[in-house]
Structure 1
Amino acid sequence: MMRAMIDFAPLDVPIHRRLQTAAVLQWVFSFLGLAPTCIFLYFYLLFTRFWVISVLYSIWWFFDYDTPSRGGRRVSYLCRLKVWEYMRDYFPVKLVKTADLDPRQNYVVGFHPHGVLVAGGFTNFCTNATGFNQLFPGLTSYLLMLPLWFRAPFFRDYIMCAGLIPSDKESAIYPLSKKGGGNAVVIAVGGAPEALDAHPGTFNVLLAQKKGFIKMAMVHGAHLVPAFSFGENEVFDQVANTRGTWLRWTQEKLRGLMGISLPLFHARGIFQYSFGLMPYRKPIHTIVGRPIRVKKNKEPTAEELDVLHQFYMEELSDLFDEHKGNYGIDKDTHLNFV
């Protein structure tokens, strides 16, 4: 009976698809389980004959503590590994360019929507699998991630290798403060709260009151670039949690206490298609829009901030409407700014 209910993967799945699944599996584990594993390993080693590893790492950590807030430590070789190409092809993920970005400028790229695990954001801006370096030569991308994860021993070093930096103000402005340009700070603007609205078929963007990234761009004279990732909300299902329900109330309370959201998501498994935490094989197309020129203004007024924020929302809405027909979205569907 159980076998009849579970849709098992056939035994003759081609090896390249097996490798794609393995690549995504390690990414999902890295996102959900690697940090706790690293923390456990750090403390476990202290009580074994290998205690010196944790002690030496602690010394290293002390001297290296500020590295995440100073641009991190990207390892280009790791970003070019074949494993990321297999991950790209699993969905697949594609990066679409609509305009040139001048490498003499710095940019703040708003990534929408957050989705559950930011699959498109990671693949496009933390690896070379979708050709970011070729599409935007001279630019270095930095994807922002919750500061909490940079407090995990060993794990912090791993995520910095991919160009991830903390999503606090100090870390975000460091690349934007560099003279000569060539830096693109990528912000999943909706952040953890938006992940709770990441349901298939929905186009809710948590942006109406999000103005911090706009002000940061103005203060540092960084051009704004809207980016919309079609399919980001489609790769996972999520337990219904509409606003006002007890589940959503609980999730909001936990987010307030821990700083991270806990969406109850599910999709498929490794060897079967009925349940599990592996994402569905559904395409993700990330469209990078035209840059919005921003003049440096160290002390913008509230009115100036509101005007640029409104213009950004209009540009993002236009970007969505211009491309939605290419990805099977009804012409009457529009972004819902929350």
Structure 2
Amino acid sequence: MEKVLNGAEEFSESCNMLKMVLALALYLGTIHFNLALIFFATFFLPLSKALLVFGSLLVLVMIPVDENSMFGRKLSKYICRHICSYFPITLHIEEVEAFRPNQAYVFGYEPHSVNPIGMIALGHSAGFMPLAKTKLLASRAIFYIPFMRHTWTWLGFTSVSKKNFISSLAAGYSCIVVPGGIRETLFMEPGCETDTYKWWKAPGKLIQNLARILKITPLFFWGIYGSPIPFKIPLYVVVGRPIKVEKNPQPTMDQVAKVHNQFVDELQDLFNRHKAQAGYTNLELKII
């Protein structure tokens, strides 16, 4: 059942837990599946069969993914529906009427945390944003992972490259991006992030500098019983009012800084206005 309160969409549908876990596994567990498959092929299969497995994975990385696949669309809606019900995720849009359905917007989603799971509620497959078309921007590395690149493409994700960003906006897609990206995980602190996962990260400046170069964070995380299935923690996602900016193909650094400061101020204000309703009355927002 969907519950609408003051512009909020609360995904509280009672769904079969098996379906929820399957949806989460399809969305978040494909990395673990690939690692398990490679491990099994390496240590338990004859060389010829192991090479066949590795070759098949390579083919799955190389062949294009049809983002308009009928199967893919149905699967993405299945995943969104059951993930939103699992936590559940509450989506609150402050001023729905402030958005024009056919206009392209840029949304900054925070925080990245271990995984910005809540942003799936903003995607086109969820069907709750008052926009005609949306794209979710994610790390380029995801699109080199077999199976994961398929499910995430069908869910509306695309590589967070400058080229994709510009082309998506030009095509009329609103883009949802995590401004700090995966680098935010370098600054994660217990109690300052979502509790959907427990985690441990390697300490030390050398590790952090290496992570910045490789664009991979040395982070170990786990959910229920050590699995990739996250803990069932209610998530509260708020969409603020759009910030009006003038189109400028060649902005100066001062102009960029002005808009950035406005975004940070609005983010702080949005957090303070809604944290009590989300159940985190005493939580402070830390912006680095």
| TM-score > 0.5 by shorter chain | yes
* Contact kept in structure 1, 2:107 and 2:175, CA below 8 Å: yes
Pair 1:328 & 2:284 matched: no
Q: How does 1:112-127 map to 2 (within 5 A)?
A: 112-125=110-123, 127=125
> For the residues of structure 2 that align with 1:257 and 1:313, how far apart are their CA atoms?
26
2:182 corresponds to which of 182, 192, 198: 192
- One of 121, 145, 158 as aligned partner of 1:165: 158
The answer as to whether partners of 2:60 and 2:147 remain within 8 angstroms in 1 is no
Aligned residue identity for 1:76: R
Give yes or no for contact 1:175–1:185 (8 Å, CA) kept in 2: yes
Give the 3-state SS of the residue equivalent to 1:238 in structure 2: strand
Query: Alpha carbon RMSD of aligned pairs, Å?
Result: 3.7
Q: Counterpart of 2:276 in 1: which secondary structure?
A: helix
Q: Which amino acid aligns with 1:187?
A: V
Out of 161, 164, 177, the residue aligned to residue 170 of structure 2 is 177
Cα distance in 2 for residues equivalent to 1:282 and 1:298: 42
Q: Is the 8 A contact 2:61 2:144 kept in 1?
A: no
Return the letter of the residue paired with 2:185. A
Distance 1:106 1:123, change over 3 A: closer
1:144 Cα deviation after fit: 1.1
Corresponding residue of 1:268: 224
**Alignment-derived partner of residue 84 in structure 1:** 80
For 1:309 and 1:168, how far apart are their aligned partners in 2?
19
Q: Would the alpha carbon gap of residues 172 and 41 (structure 1) be closer, same or farther in structure 2, given more than 3 Å must change?
A: farther
Tell me how far apart the structure 1 counterparts of residues 196 and 157 of structure 2 sit (CA, whole Å): 22
The CA distance in 2 between the partners of 1:257 and 1:104, in whole Å, is 38
The match for 1:19 is: 19
Q: 2:6 maps to which residue?
A: none
The total of aligned residue pairs comes to: 269
For the residues of structure 2 that align with 1:286 and 1:126, how far apart are their CA atoms?
16
**Aligned partner of 1:306: which letter?**
A
| Cα 1:257/1:314, change in 2 over 3 Å | closer
Q: 1:125 to 1:168 in 2, by over 3 A?
A: same
CA contact (8 A) 2:94 2:240 kept: yes
3-state SS of 1:247 partner:
coil
Q: Distance in 1 between matches of 2:272 and 2:208?
A: 31
- For 2:102, the aligned partner's letter is R
Say whether residues 1:284 and 2:235 are aligned partners. yes
Q: How big is each residue's C-alpha offset from its partner over 1:4-25, in whole Å with a ceiling of 9 and x where there is no partner?
A: xxxxxxxxxx982343334323
Over the matched positions of the two proteins, sequence identity in percent amounts to 23
The alpha-carbon distance between structure 1 residues 258 and 37, as it changes in their structure 2 partners (threshold 3 A), is farther
2:94 match = 98
1:155 shift after superposition: 4.2
Cα distance per residue 1:226-261 (max 9 Å; x no partner): xxxxxxx1212223x5xxxx6243542442343221
Q: What TM-score do you get using the length of structure 2 for normalisation?
A: 0.77
Q: Deviations over 1:48-106 (max 9, x none)?
A: 6x97x969x859947x4xx89xxx6574322222x432222221112211123212321
- Which residue of structure 2 lines up, in the alignment, with residue 208 of structure 1? none
Mark the runs of 5 or more structure 2 residues left unpaired by the alignment.
1-13
Q: Helix, strand or coil for the counterpart of 1:115? A: coil
Would the aligned equivalents of 1:114 and 1:198 in 2 still touch at CA under 8 Å? Answer: no
**1:1-338 map, 5 Å:** 16-30=16-30, 32-34=31-33, 36=35, 47=48, 61=62, 64=64, 75-81=72-78, 83-100=79-96, 101-125=99-123, 127-128=125-126, 133-138=127-132, 140-153=133-146, 155-178=148-171, 181=172, 183-202=173-192, 233-239=194-200, 247-249=203-205, 251-269=207-225, 275-330=226-281, 333-338=283-288
Over 3 Å counting, the alpha-carbon distance change for 1:152 and 1:40 in structure 2 is farther
SS across alignment from 2:136: strand
Q: Is the 8 A contact 1:268 1:278 kept in 2?
A: yes
Q: What is the CA–CA distance in structure 2 between the aligned matches of 1:99 and 1:33, rounded to whole Å?
A: 39
> Is the 1:200–1:237 contact (alpha carbons within 8 Å) kept by the matching residues of 2?
no
8 Å Cα contact 1:108/1:185 also seen in 2: yes
TM-score of the two chains, using structure 1 as the length reference? 0.67
Letter in 2 for 1:235: T
Q: Deviations over 1:83-140 (max 9, x none)?
A: 4322222211122111232123211110000121221123442632xxxx244142x2
